């Protein structure tokens, strides 16, 4: 008899993948991401030992080099600040399924726009810092928004693929910045502009070391506050405002948005401009908070591209972006501590792949059963 046979003979375990029919509980995505991180670290450990290193020691070192004391924590945050703003820029465009790959160029243009205020000069060097900062913020955002407007307008009016146009505009932005720092604002023939006057610097924690000694040597600057405030405002725009509702609706189903009477072309332009403005703000924060002069290498350092990854890992949620950016800041910083390139970059890659792959578990579940019945 078939039935009695099945009891005596143990059948092999079967693993099946089934799509989830209901939403997993709220804690589940976080738990999955955490699990993915652990697995990535284990895999990275294997990699380190293959390279002849001691994984435990290396991880200890990485942790110490990025979160070990207040000094390196501050450095981590400085690295995270431009990533926050670039990722926010990407997230708002991606939310509407506009694939803005041009945060890098918009970031550069933002840095350029802020520099114009100092270098043109629009404001004299002895202007108060509290006038300089808002004016430079606006200039940076305007320049970034312009760089977002171009692909946005082309997309809305002529249906030009924004992936191509934003990507290409990145190169234009680099060339544009180079033209100015090579030719116009060159510092004695070097490929950089003169240093900004201190009044055009974002305030840093170390300035307050006199009253609070613990702040000595900390380079964390006002850009962090700008980033966090921008994230909170963006969260409100996306989830609580009328405009954000339209963005979410268009992103999820453009046909339904059209049906609900929403003007999609107009929104494409506005969202690209908002995205550009946020990236531009990131460029402004970096040039006035860290670099203090217009210079290609530290400005065009790929923050716009890192922003794409961070935005996805944070599932486009502005608040989560802050934390993911700090993780990335730590990875960048600690990586340099153990090796300039190579293994740390590989570990970064492993973490990325694991986090992205873990998304699969949010949509599918794995069922392990014995036998066929």
Under the binding rule (CB under 8 A), the answer on residue 13 touching another protein is: no
Cβ nearer to another protein, comparing 26 with 297: 26
CA distance 221 to 264: 38
Q: Which residue in 297, 287, 328, 290 sits closest to 311, CA to CA?
A: 328
Under the binding rule (CB under 8 A), the answer on residue 315 touching another protein is: no
Helix axes of 55-67 and 318-338: crossing angle, nearest 10 degrees: 120
Cβ nearer to another protein, comparing 42 with 319: 319
Cβ nearer to another protein, comparing 18 with 69: 18
Minimal distance in Å, beta carbon 248 to another protein? 6
Cβ nearer to another protein, comparing 315 with 345: 315
Of the candidates 161, 191, 198, 253, which one interacts with another protein according to CB under 8 A?
A: 253
Cβ nearer to another protein, comparing 23 with 69: 23
Under the binding rule (CB under 8 A), the answer on residue 10 touching another protein is: no
β-sheet bridge partners, residue 15: 368
β-sheet bridge partners, residue 295: 192
CA distance 250 to 95: 9
Residue whose structure tokens are 């400005």 = 299
Helix (H, G, I), strand (E, B) or coil at 295: strand
**Could you write out the DSSP letters of every residue in 329-358?**
HHHHHHHHHH-SSSHHHHHHHHHHHHHHHH
The answer to whether the CB of 112 falls within 8 A of the CB of 180 is yes
Options 112-120, 209-217, 252-260, 323-331: segment touching another protein (CB under 8 A): 252-260
Of the candidates 11, 17, 20, 38, which one interacts with another protein according to CB under 8 A?
A: 20
Of the candidates 4, 8, 9, 22, which one interacts with another protein according to CB under 8 A?
A: 22
Two structure tokens written together for 348 = 């970064």
Count CB atoms within 10 A of the CB of residue 144.
37
Cβ nearer to another protein, comparing 191 with 253: 253
CA distance 207 to 233: 28
CA distance 132 to 123: 8
Under the binding rule (CB under 8 A), the answer on residue 263 touching another protein is: yes
Minimal distance in Å, beta carbon 145 to another protein? 21
Under the binding rule (CB under 8 A), the answer on residue 261 touching another protein is: yes
Cβ nearer to another protein, comparing 16 with 64: 16
Of the candidates 28, 171, 259, 360, which one interacts with another protein according to CB under 8 A?
A: 259
Fill in the per-residue mask, 229 to 248: x = in contact with another protein (CB under 8 A), - = not in contact: -------x---xxx-xx--x
Q: Which residue in 133, 173, 114 sits closest to 294, CA to CA?
A: 114
Which positions touch another protein (CB under 8 A)? 1-2, 5, 18, 20-23, 236, 240-242, 244-245, 248-249, 252-253, 255-263, 365, 372-373
């Amino acid at each position: 008899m078939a039935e009695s046979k099945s009891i005596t003979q143990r059948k092999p375990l079967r693993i099946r993948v089934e799509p989830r029919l209901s939403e997993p509980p709220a804690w589940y995505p976080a738990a999955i991401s955490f699990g993915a991180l652990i697995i990535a670290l284990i895999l990275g450990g294997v990699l380190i030992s293959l390279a002849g290193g001691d994984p435990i020691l290396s991880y200890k070192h990485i942790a110490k080099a990025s979160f070990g004391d207040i000094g390196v924590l501050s450095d981590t945050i400085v690295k995270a600040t431009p990533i926050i703003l670039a990722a926010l820029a990407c997230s708002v465009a991606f939310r509407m399924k506009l694939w803005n790959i041009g945060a890098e160029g918009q970031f550069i243009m933002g840095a350029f726009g802020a520099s114009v205020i100092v270098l043109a000069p629009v404001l004299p060097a002895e202007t108060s810092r509290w006038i300089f900062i808002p004016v430079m913020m606006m200039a940076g955002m305007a320049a970034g928004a312009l760089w977002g407007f171009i692909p946005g307008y082309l997309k809305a009016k002529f249906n030009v693929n924004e992936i191509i146009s934003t990507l290409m505009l990145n190169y234009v932005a680099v060339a544009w910045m180079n033209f100015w720092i090579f030719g116009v604002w060159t510092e004695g023939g070097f490929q950089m502009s003169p240093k900004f006057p201190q009044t055009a610097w974002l305030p840093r924690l170390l300035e307050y070391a006199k009253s609070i000694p613990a702040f000595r040597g900390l380079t964390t600057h006002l850009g962090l506050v700008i980033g966090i405030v921008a994230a909170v405002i963006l969260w409100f725009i996306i989830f609580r405002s009328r405009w954000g509702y339209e963005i979410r609706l268009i992103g999820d189903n453009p046909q339904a948005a059209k049906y609900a009477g929403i003007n999609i072309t107009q929104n494409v332009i506005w969202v690209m401009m908002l995205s550009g403005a946020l990236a531009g703000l990131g460029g402004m924060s970096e040039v006035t908070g860290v670099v203090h002069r217009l210079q290609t290498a530290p400005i065009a350092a790929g923050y716009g591209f890192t922003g794409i990854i961070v935005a996805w890992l944070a599932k486009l949620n502005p608040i989560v972006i802050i934390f993911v950016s700090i993780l990335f800041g730590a990875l960048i910083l600690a990586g340099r501590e153990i090796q300039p390139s190579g293994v740390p970059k590989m570990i970064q890659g492993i973490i990325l792949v694991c986090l992205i792959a873990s998304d699969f578990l949010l949509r599918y579940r794995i069922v392990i059963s014995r036998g066929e019945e």
